[in-house]
């Protein structure tokens, strides 16, 4: 098989949490372009349905599933719905996440819990549910969205819960990779630097300092993550598991 064919996702069934916009939507379009059927999983059904319309207009089999990744019953129902529609799950991109910027000393318990629930517990719940399907068939690729914030402390904005949640995602990824390697299930994560999405673009006051601190002197685009995600999802990454792929314009090098 040629190297390009090794990246093919033809016949694969995928879901993307937080797939309605930003990094998740870009990934969904890329998985589809590589040949996969893709379910868009999100809380925002308006945007999720719009993404599905876009995918279907390209001839892709797709559906939108409403799911709060912090709710175990919701997550299990989402997995059942995707399996019902597609027959199985080969690729799980656990990507939904939020950031709350509050100083640690005044951060509310609710804010702390919300960030940890969505960014860390949500990834555990979706990985657990997808992992059960994949373990059953001894095959599958799980990709989690961590962040460079799991490696470094961002400045100037305060975001201790976010940083802690993303460091947790990296270690959760490694733990699942080791536990599930005997079952043929690979688990990896990506750690993006600053990427231009709704999450970052709404914080316009910090963007100049983020760009100045990035050796490439710019933010990345969601599309600059997609080839790495297709690689991790594909059979070409057969020996790649437990890896955290940092894609950050060299931010964490300095
Ligand atoms: P975004 O805000 O554009 O998209 C996040 C999506 O997640 C939205 O569609 C939202 O509706 C969905 N979502 C939020 N809570 C949810 C829940 N409880 N259940 C289901 N869906 C939920 O942000 P983005 O930048 O595309 O972020 C995607 C991921 O990438 C996040 O995990 C984020 O932490 C991570 N990340 C982003 C950057 C960046 O600079 N943008 C950098 C590193 C990591």
pLDDT in the model for residue 78: 98
Average per-residue pLDDT for the chain: 98
CA-CA distance, 112 to 121, in Å (whole number)?
12
Burial class (CB in 10 A: 0-12, 13-18, 19+), 240: middle
Dump pLDDT digits (tens) for 72-82. 999 999 999 99
Residues with CB under 6 A from ligand 1: 17-18, 20-24, 42-44, 67-70, 95-98, 118, 122, 145, 147, 192, 194-195, 197-200
Smallest CA-to-CA distance from 225 within 159, 173, 147 is with 147
Check if the beta carbon of residue 47 is closer than 8 Å to that of residue 53.
Answer: no
Residues annotated as catalytic (active site), given as ranges: 147, 162, 166
Domain of residue 230, CATH code: 3.40.50.720
Does pLDDT of 253 surpass 90? yes
Q: Report if pTM > 0.85.
A: yes
Angle at 214 between CA 230 and CA 219, to 5 degrees: 50
Q: What is the mean pLDDT of residues 163-177?
A: 99
Does pLDDT of 4 surpass 90? no
Helix (H) or strand (E) holding 189: strand 185-192
Instruction: Identify the domain containing residue 49 by its residue range.
Output: 3-253
Tally of structural domains, the chain: 1
pLDDT in the model for residue 3: 85
181: confidence class by pLDDT, cuts 50, 70, 90: very high
Dump pLDDT digits (tens) for 199-238. 999 999 999 999 999 999 999 999 999 999 999 999 999 9
């Amino acid at each position: 098989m040629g190297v390009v064919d090794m990246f093919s996702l033809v016949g694969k069934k995928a879901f993307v949490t937080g797939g309605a916009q930003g990094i998740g939507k870009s990934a969904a379009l890329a998985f589809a372009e590589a040949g996969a059927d893709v379910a868009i999983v999100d809380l925002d059904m308006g945007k999720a349905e719009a993404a599905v319309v876009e995918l279907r207009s390209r001839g892709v089999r797709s559906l939108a599933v409403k799911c709060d990744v912090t709710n175990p019953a919701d997550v299990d129902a989402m997995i059942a719905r995707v399996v019902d529609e597609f027959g199985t799950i080969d690729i799980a991109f656990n990507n939904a996440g939020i950031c709350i910027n509050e100083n640690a000393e005044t951060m509310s318990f609710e804010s702390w819990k919300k960030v940890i629930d969505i960014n860390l517990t949500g990834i555990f719940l979706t990985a657990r549910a997808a992992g059960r399907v994949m373990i059953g068939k001894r095959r599958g690729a799980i990709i989690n969205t961590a962040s460079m914030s799991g490696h470094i402390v961002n400045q100037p904005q305060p975001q201790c819960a976010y940083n802690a949640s993303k460091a947790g995602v990296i270690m959760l990824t490694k733990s699942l990779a080791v536990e599930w390697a005997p079952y043929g299930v690979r688990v990896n994560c990506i750690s993006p630097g600053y990427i231009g999405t709704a999450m970052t673009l709404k914080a316009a006051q910090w963007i100049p300092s983020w760009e100045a601190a990035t050796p490439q002197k710019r933010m990345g685009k969601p599309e600059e993550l997609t080839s790495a995600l297709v690689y991790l999802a594909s059979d070409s990454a057969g020996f790649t598991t437990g890896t955290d792929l940092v894609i950050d314009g060299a931010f964490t090098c300095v």
